[in-house]
Amino acid sequence: MQAKWLQATTEGLTKPTLYMETIEVANLSALSFFAAGQASYQQKRFYWQNREKTLTLVGLGHAYTITHQGEHERFTTVEQQWQQLTQSMHKEGVAHVQPMLFGGFTFDPANIIASEWATFPDAFFALATFQFVERDGRSYVTIQTVTNAQVDDKTIQALRDERDALIQQAQQQVSYKKPVATSYFEPHKIEYLASIDRVTDLIQQQQAEKVVIARPLALTFDEAVLPEQTMAQVLSEQPNSYLFGLEHEELFFFGASPERLVKVDNKQAYSSCVAGSIKRGTTDEEDAQLGQTLLQDAKNLGEHQYVVDMIADTFKRHCTEVDLPTGPQLLKIRDIQHLFTPVEGRLRNEATILSLVQHLHPTPALGGVPREAAMSIIREYEPMNRGLYAAPIGWLDAEGNGEFAVAIRSAAITNKDAYLYAGGGIVADSEAQSEYEETLVKFRPMLRALGGKIDE
């Protein structure tokens, strides 16, 4: 083993090599592993679980980070640096486990409003020092380290000891109590309501066709809220969503989103159009009735169609064999139901998951139509900085596979403060009060996780 490693590195000592060592671990809980990193890897952790619950990913520590400031080239920068890093890999142990780069691209680098997102880069991705992957019921822990020279035995042994200590600590059962929010505040509520009227006017004057306007909700706590504490809540409360959590310096951003931006599996690409909303019913009958109302509602079907047209068009440019159903179906999650249309296609040769992220973001489900007009209306009328809210968050591996969700139903926590975010698609026949109520429903998943008051 050691000889092979020497051979691989003698060619070019200045070329960074990614060293990976993977073991399979039985009965290791992803959340416990995440929590075990609290003492030594705080501010350098992430958590991801897909909607189907077939993949869970946890990262502790940073073996490598890729960041970029500014709108232009942030997608290609991540692509190129990742390609470079994974060009030279040395694997020990279970060979099929891939290095997985996790992170996100902020919603709008041109937004300069000072906020809780002040130090967050426009692209931020991390390769974990200790990577946990659970797939098809089997779990693996990988040590990852990037070096320009040969990895010495002492360094590797220290990482192994640390890995074993983390795994051992993760075997202990811990339970988390729900955080208790002590204050609840709707900043800019009046401005939000006025902006919906104003944006609806602008749309009627044909300055845009659809614009998504969002607003924050602020909670405070008497004690600092722990990332593992909130992840424990969403894990038990939101079974049908992507679950994600990402630490960056003082900020912990997390959420439970129903919306896929793009997934690539073996060159097959998948996206989902999710737009148009109605609440859940209190009985099965009422729920089905509300669903039928949504499927026939002209305003919501309009909101939805903009998204379908744009995503289908983007797929047609970057994929072959594009498959699109003729009409939407319902996507039901705990607090809300949406109109939903899945789209799929085969990546063209030059297309990659990151090129799709670049061209899809922001879809009209989060930005609007036409894109640039909608973005400048958002900059003018939305009194906040979205940061990663409504933005792409997810992972990619070294073989071109990966998945990004749209980070909605999300919140950012810094110490004793939390900011929750929610918005909705404004079209020509929108009404401020009902848009306001739609955001209240969309705040619920995060409010519940954070121990805020929910009017059921």
Residues that bind ligand ISJ (CB under 6 A): 212, 214, 259, 274-277, 303, 338, 365-366, 390, 408-409, 422-425, 442
Of the candidates 116, 134, 259, 435, the residue annotated as catalytic is 259
Residue 201: which residues within 8 A CB-CB, separation 6 or more?
A: none
Say how many residues touch Mg ion, by CB under 5 A. 3
User: Minimal distance in Å, beta carbon 261 to ligand ISJ?
Assistant: 10
Q: Estimate the share of the chain in helix, then strand, then coil, as percent rounded to the nearest 5.
A: 35, 35, 30
45's enclosing H/E stretch is strand 45-49
Q: What is the DSSP pairing of strand 402-406 with strand 410-414?
A: unpaired
| Residue 66 contact partner, candidates ligand ISJ, Mg ion, none, CB within 5 to 8 A by sort of partner | none
Q: What is the DSSP pairing of strand 392-396 with strand 402-406?
A: antiparallel
* Residue 334 or 416 with smaller CB distance to ligand ISJ: 334
Does 259 qualify as catalytic in the annotation? Answer: yes
Residue 343: CA count within 13 A, CB half-sphere:
26
User: Minimal distance in Å, beta carbon 338 to Mg ion?
Assistant: 8
Of the candidates 44, 116, 210, 435, the residue annotated as catalytic is 210
* Exposure letters 209-240 (e unless 16+ CB within 10 A, then b): bbbbbbbbbebebeeebbbbbbbbbbbebbee
- Residue whose Cβ sits closest to Mg ion: 424
Residue 206: which residues within 8 A CB-CB, separation 6 or more?
A: none
* Residue 20 or 408 with smaller CB distance to Mg ion: 408
DSSP SS3 for 69: coil
| Residue 259 contact partner, candidates Mg ion, ligand ISJ, none, CB within 5 to 8 A by sort of partner | ligand ISJ
User: Minimal distance in Å, beta carbon 362 to Mg ion?
Assistant: 15
Work out the number of other CB atoms within 10 angstroms of the CB of residue 148. 11
**Angstrom distances, CA of residue 34 to CA of 45, 99, 390:** 7, 17, 24
Does 286 qualify as catalytic in the annotation? Answer: no
* Residue 47 or 107 with smaller CB distance to ligand ISJ: 107
Q: Which of residues 243-302 bind Mg ion (CB under 5 A)?
A: 277
User: Minimal distance in Å, beta carbon 271 to Mg ion?
Assistant: 19
User: Minimal distance in Å, beta carbon 366 to Mg ion?
Assistant: 11
| Residue 442 contact partner, candidates ligand ISJ, Mg ion, none, CB within 5 to 8 A by sort of partner | ligand ISJ
**E-assigned strand segments in 299-432:** 319-323, 329-332, 336-347, 368-369, 392-396, 402-406, 410-414, 417-426
CA distance 31 to 234: 11
What is the DSSP code string of 177-194?
A: PPP-EEEEE-TTHHHHHH
User: Minimal distance in Å, beta carbon 214 to ligand ISJ?
Assistant: 6
Task: Tell me the backbone φ, ψ of residue 311, rounded to 5 degrees.
Answer: -65, -40
* Residue 127 or 217 with smaller CB distance to ligand ISJ: 217
User: Minimal distance in Å, beta carbon 217 to ligand ISJ?
Assistant: 11
CA distance 166 to 157: 14
* Residue 128 or 275 with smaller CB distance to ligand ISJ: 275
| Residue 199 contact partner, candidates Mg ion, ligand ISJ, none, CB within 5 to 8 A by sort of partner | none
**Burial (CB count <10 Å: 0-12, 13-18, 19+), residue 95:** exposed
| Residue 338 contact partner, candidates ligand ISJ, Mg ion, none, CB within 5 to 8 A by sort of partner | ligand ISJ
* Residue 148 or 293 with smaller CB distance to Mg ion: 293
| Token reading at 86 | 């994974």
* Residue 99 or 368 with smaller CB distance to ligand ISJ: 368
425 makes contact with Mg ion (CB under 5 A): yes
Work out the number of other CB atoms within 10 angstroms of the CB of residue 256. 30
| Token reading at 450 | 């954070």
Q: Using CB under 5 A as the criterion, which residues of the chain lie in contact with Mg ion when the complex forms?
A: 277, 424-425
Catalytic residues: 210, 259
